[in-house]
Structure 1
Amino acid sequence: MLPTDAVPSRRPRLVLVAGDVIANTMAGPGLRFVKIAEQLSAVADVTIALGHEGSNAAALADMPFDAREYASHEELVALMVGADIVYGQMVDENAVRQAVQSGTRFIFDLYNAVPAEAIGSEKIGGFDTQPEMDNVYSQVLSFFRLCMRAGSYFVTSNERQRDFWIGFMLAAKGVMPSSLDGRAATDIVGLLPFGLEDEDPVQASHGIRGKRGIGDDDFVVLWAGGIWDWFDAETPIRAVAALRERRPNVHLVFYGTTHPNALIGRPASVGRAAALARDLGVLDVGVHFIEGWVPASERADYLRDADIAVCAHKDSLETRYAFRTRILDHFWSSLPSVVTEGDWFAEYIAENELGEVVRYGDVEQTATAIERLMSSDVRDQTIGHVQAIRDSWKWSATTRELVEIVANWEERLPVRDLRPIEEAITASHRRIGPLLRLRYRLSHTWVGKIYRRARGR
């Protein structure tokens, strides 16, 4: 921990390498980096580096930090080497190595468990065939192993993810007996979940009501985000189609069908969801898809038109370590939630009575949960519970721990040196590799069988 009398010698120069498109229209990852940059500007001289196609530095003109666009590896390296601290998520591997060698300290944002998220995706790195998917996935793992060794500090979203990344770090030799230095897990991996705007949402115009045949008296269930591979849009669609037979004023609205990052675009899962709604006879009648992507600055127009929000996912490996950032928009706009069991937020919502938690793929239970929240008494009570927890999720609260770390950066961020670690790993492989290969060969011969029987006796 930082001694009480320790005072940093100066404000650090901090570069945030944006992990996604940052412009007037952006998704959660871009919005996250803008908000973190805004909070860190109180204790550091912050520059946000924009390299994704479609990013626009002019969109950040009124922010309390600088924005720089880069178009080459060399430009990125120059930005990083000139910084005391680099904050990033998926950063060019060679640039990381060069910056670490120059003395730059890294904070890696691990707010989603990318290895668990990617492994079950329909496409990885644009591929949906083997062995290409495994090859790209192996490169992803290799990158995060580098992060574990290069990072001075890490942030993630919840305790499940902290355990995930600590395990990954130990396996990657990101912490060694020589570098632990008495630190606890919380000194190495902090918590920085997605946050809420400090100001309440203000609706400038109607995004949903008065359009698509949805009136003021209709009940709007909002799916507030994209439909990615691990989500289950089909269960809410089937639930609303069934519910409309007795409650025809129920409407399910999807926004965020096409990601602003061209590398992601419009997932195939959107087409499948729309096809199901068409087959059930509710497309553009009770189930509506808003094409494109709702700009972050306009999402209040849609959130404030909703009565409740829904987020459903599949039973997958990704679910265990997921953090559904869209749930924070539910909280921001005081919307009760209907969510699927299995992830961290499902437990949090159940514990704090913020909505309804349903079983995987259970159409009947999902319809019942929506209908229960159609009761004004139940909904009003749930809204009260949501409003009671909102302050703890504001960006000023979720970033507090990181702001303290950066304010005291010289004490809290150890300088890393990749060379001794990687040399030790290489030497270890030279010593142990032949023994492991010998053991493997022996275990598959009659010698190995005799050895195992002897051990059994």
Structure 2
Amino acid sequence: MTRVLIITGDPVGASMAGPAIRAWNMALTLRARDHEVRVLSTTRADRPDAPFPVVAVAPGDERAFRAHERWAEVIVFQGYALGQFPSLRRTDRFLVADVYDPMHLEMLEQGRELPPATWRLRVATARDALNDQLSRADLLLCASDRQRLFYLGHLASLGRLTPDTYAHDPDLRGLLDLVPFGLDPVPPQASPGSGIRDVVPSIGADERVLIWGGGVYSWFDPLTLIRAIAAVRDRVPGIRLFFLGTRHPGVDEMGIVRESFDLAVELGLEGREVVFNDTWVPYADRGAYLLDADAGVSTHHVHVETTFAFRTRILDYLWAVLPMVVTEGDGFADLVREEGLGIVVPANDVDALAEALATVLTDAAAAEGFRAAVARVRERYTWPVVLEPLVRFVEAPHHAADYTPGREGMGSAGSRRPRRTSGLGHNLRMAAHHLKHSGVRDVVGRLRRRLAHG
């Protein structure tokens, strides 16, 4: 039995987004293998039903964090934790960095609406945090073969691909292994009275439902999708598009949400053909929503974030055995095309998207073929299967070949001081930055939001 601490920057509660869902399922899987597990959130923790301790420790609370760090034998972490807790970056515990989200690429898109100086700062902060993880971890976990190639380049530039790391591990899986996002091995269950058709008045038993199974962010393209709904509604009577959640539990609402709503109103679709759920469906309840859908959809723009992204919502489509329509350009689009899970369309092509939506909703033979393929493929992505590399490491933990005490010297960037992302000094620097580039009103608004969230 190994003691494992799993750290996430996302809220852990009834409503969870990708990072917290991933941490939660890591914990469940490791506990099922008889390991002792704790989950630590740096924002909020509220899971009284958890079969293991779930705690919240604020960034910079070194005293509280240190107790958990000393308890653990293996520490798995995501995001900015190295810059939030000095004892983590110096730890002698076995350290696993979960880099399934290339957050600096994500921030290139997510920060578009920010003042230019703030956009540059956030990208630089994400880049430095990622480089710190790559420099110091004993094991790194990524989500796709594309990401693995990308991170191997990172590791080479950071000086970690050395004769020491290569000598007994020529494929380098001992340093960087593949752990995609997963899905529950137990299929979703219908919950009477809690599906889309039960809670949305405009979606009845006879409507044909497309589900957008997650949040609406700037790197996605809901606008082309809404236009495609308008283009096809006369051919597919009763077509409905349901956005599962527009209010992410850990991210401020982006402008694309308002743009999507406004476009649906302009085209006369809002509240009927296009329905926005303005909350976030509890994690345990999402199965009933998925089972009420006829197909899943994911549309995005094509840019560098797309190339290396891993669209976690598509795992839920696999879980619920839904045919899918997706935009080309990411790794999942390749899987959909190669395995016949649905239809892949060019980016920003309203006509092609409208045709694909009509096919999955009206061609019964095609939809049945897609469902059969999805049912076959989904077994590869259950959490116990995808987490095997982490389980193997936890059962025989070891330091990386280039490990040194204090984690100094792991690669050419190993001794570089991480960018601090917590503490009084960090808060003062951020306040000065936003005051300079966004003004007093923005600083006051940020302070009010922080106080409101505790």
Q: TM-score if structure 2 supplies the norm length?
A: 0.85
Kept in 1, the 8 Å contact 2:138–2:398? The answer is: no
Distance 1:43 1:412 in 2: 24
- Between the aligned partners of 1:93 and 1:412, the Cα distance in structure 2 is 17
Matched with 2:313 is: 326
CA distance in structure 2 between the partners assigned to 1:141 and 1:27 by the alignment: 22
* Structure of higher CA gyration radius: 1
Separation in structure 2 between the aligned mates of residue 221 and residue 100 of structure 1, nearest angstrom: 45
Tell me, in whole angstroms, the C-alpha distance in 1 between the residues paired with 2:143 and 2:371: 24
What count of residue pairs does the alignment treat as equivalent?
A: 408
Measure, in 2, the Cα distance between the counterparts of 1:175 and 1:423. Answer: 10
Task: Note closer, same or farther for the CA distance 1:168–1:43 as it changes in structure 2 (3 Å cut).
Answer: farther
TM superposition shift of 1:176? 3.8
Match of 1:207 among 186, 195, 210: 195
Mapped to 1, the partners of 2:76 and 2:330 lie a distance apart of 27
> Unpaired runs of 5+ in structure 2?
417-454
Which SS does the other structure have where 2:174 is aligned?
helix
Report what 2:152 is aligned to: 166
Alignment of 1:383-422 (within 5 A): 383-410=371-398, 415-417=403-405, 418-421=407-410
TM-score if structure 1 supplies the norm length?
Answer: 0.84
CA RMSD of aligned residues (A): 2.2
8 A contact 2:210–2:240 mirrored in 1: yes
Q: Tell me, what secondary structure is at the counterpart of 1:187?
A: coil
Contact 1:257–1:290 (8 Å) recurs in 2: yes
Question: Where does the alignment leave 5 or more consecutive residues of structure 1 unmatched?
Answer: 1-10, 428-457
**Alignment-derived partner of residue 439 in structure 2:** none
Q: Which residue of 2 aligns with 1:448?
A: none
Query: Does 1:378 find its partner at 2:369?
Result: no
Q: CA deviation at 1:247?
A: 2.2
Separation (CA, whole Å) in 2 of partners of 1:379 and 1:425:
51
Report how far residue 149 of structure 1 moved. 1.7
Give the deviation of 1:237 after TM superposition. 0.6
**What is the aligned partner in structure 1 of residue 343 from structure 2?**
356
Structure 2: distance between partners of 1:407 and 1:424: 29
Map 1:107-256 → 2, pairs under 5 A: 107-122=96-111, 128-183=114-169, 184-204=171-191, 205-210=193-198, 211-256=200-245
- Structure 1 stretch displaced more, 187-196 or 306-315: 187-196
Match in the other structure for 1:7: none
Q: Paired residue for 2:248, among 247, 253, 259?
A: 259
Residue by residue over 1:36-75, the C-alpha shift from the partner in whole angstroms, topping out at 9 and shown as x without a partner, is 111112153211112213x214242xx2x32233242321
Of 388-397 and 136-145, deviating more is 136-145
Q: Distance in 1 between matches of 2:150 and 2:178?
A: 13
CA contact (8 A) 1:14 1:47 kept: yes
Following the alignment from structure 1 to structure 2, what is the Cα–Cα distance between the partners of residues 278 and 265? Answer: 23
Conserved 8 A contact 2:77-2:96: yes
1:23 match: secondary structure? coil
User: Is residue 38 of structure 2 the alignment partner of residue 38 of structure 1?
Assistant: no
Note if contact 2:111-2:119 (Cα within 8 Å) is conserved in structure 1.
no
The CA deviation string for residues 18-47 of structure 1, in whole angstroms up to 9 with x for no partner, is 231100111122111111111112153211
- The superposition leaves residues 295-329 of structure 1 with CA deviations (integer Å, 9 ceiling, x where unpaired) of 11110121011000100000111010010000000
The residue identity in structure 1 corresponding to 2:97 is: F
Asked if structure 2 preserves the Cα contact closer than 8 Å seen for 1:340 and 1:357, the reply is yes
Cα separation, partners in 2 of 1:118 and 1:416, compared to 1, 3 Å: farther
Cα-to-partner distance string for 1:266-315 (whole Å, 9 max, x where unaligned) = 22111100100111111112111011100111101210110001000001
**Contact 1:43-1:406 within 8 A present in 2 as well:** no
Mapped partners of 1:139, 1:411: distance in 2: 27
